[in-house]
Amino acid sequence: MSPISRYATCAGYEIHYTEWGPPGAPVVMAWHGLARTGRDMDDLAAHLADRYRVICPDTIGRGLSQWSRQPLQEYRLAFYARIAADLFDQLGIERAHWVGTSMGGAIGTVCAAGVWEPALRGRIASLLLNDNAPRLADAALERIKAYAGQPPAFDTVAELEAFFRQVYQPYGWLSDAQWRRLTETSTRRLPDGRVTPHYDPAMVQQFTHHENDYLIWDHYDRLDIPVLCLRGADSDLVLPDTVAEMQHRGPGAKGLLQVVEVPGCGHAPALNVPAHYVLVDGFLARAEGQP
């Protein structure tokens, strides 16, 4: 099944998303990571599309979505949640499961908590955190600050693909075709003709001016929905002591948290192979009340 490419105006910006599956099916909102695009979810969405309506947005400043006019104020979780709330309303989504990789998981957490966007309270049925947690490792955050604001540029797409293969090696196994698609769906050409990753470098201001934006224990503690945390076994972003704390707080204390370590991956599992699909399928089925 192929996706439909669509656009919506959310919080005053044109937001691009792809839509998979039948319109009347249960909804899965699949949200990508920091410097990526919604097309990272293609494989998972294609797998789910016979049973779910899957929505895969490009966050503001990424992919085909518009860039922020006020990056200092808008490249942060609170504004991303506002965009999500508008997207729910515009698409007529009353209730959805949320699958979020890295940043996408943090957006899902604050949306499900409903503190910043009360209109979303009760509308997120379950939350899958793909290598994301309410506290992220300081060393990994420093690494992100170092690379995200200065994306490299290359003469050829082949060189950019080689770069992606190196920096995203922790995703785990991808086929040659998947690496090529990852590259082609996250590439933009600069005025001088070179190619670079398809995001606004100013989005790094989330880290340089809002240092605790990803410290979201207060949101996590409010969650009363099923949560699955997929931790890349070699992740440097989600540390074991943080996962242990998650198990004693919020949904963990309520018996609603499941944690699974994904072998052969760091930050973050690509959700693109059968072993990953089994984990997602099982979680969604349980959240839907299926045996």
pLDDT tens per residue across span 205-229? 998 889 899 999 999 999 999 999 9
How is residue 44 written in tokens?
Answer: 């998972």
pLDDT at 2: 85
For 134-216, where are the E strands, in sequence order?
A: 187-189, 195-197
For 122-162, write each residue's pLDDT tens digit.
Answer: 999 999 999 999 999 998 888 887 777 889 999 999 999 99
Indicate if the pLDDT at residue 291 is higher than 70: no
Residue 124 CA: distances (Å) to CA of 33, 37, 91, 200, 225: 19, 21, 14, 28, 8
For 9-60, write each residue's pLDDT tens digit.
Answer: 999 999 999 999 999 999 999 999 999 999 999 999 999 999 999 999 999 9
pLDDT at 268: 96
Specify the CATH architecture of the domain 4-142+214-287.
3-Layer(aba) Sandwich (3.40)
Average pLDDT over residues 64-91: 98
pLDDT at 142: 86
Average pLDDT over residues 82-90: 98
Q: Report the phi/psi class of residue 128: left, alpha or beta, with left for phi > 0 and alpha for psi in -120 to 50.
A: beta
Indicate if the pLDDT at residue 265 is higher than 70: yes
Average pLDDT over residues 157-183: 97
How many whole angstroms separate alpha carbon 134 and alpha carbon 109?
8
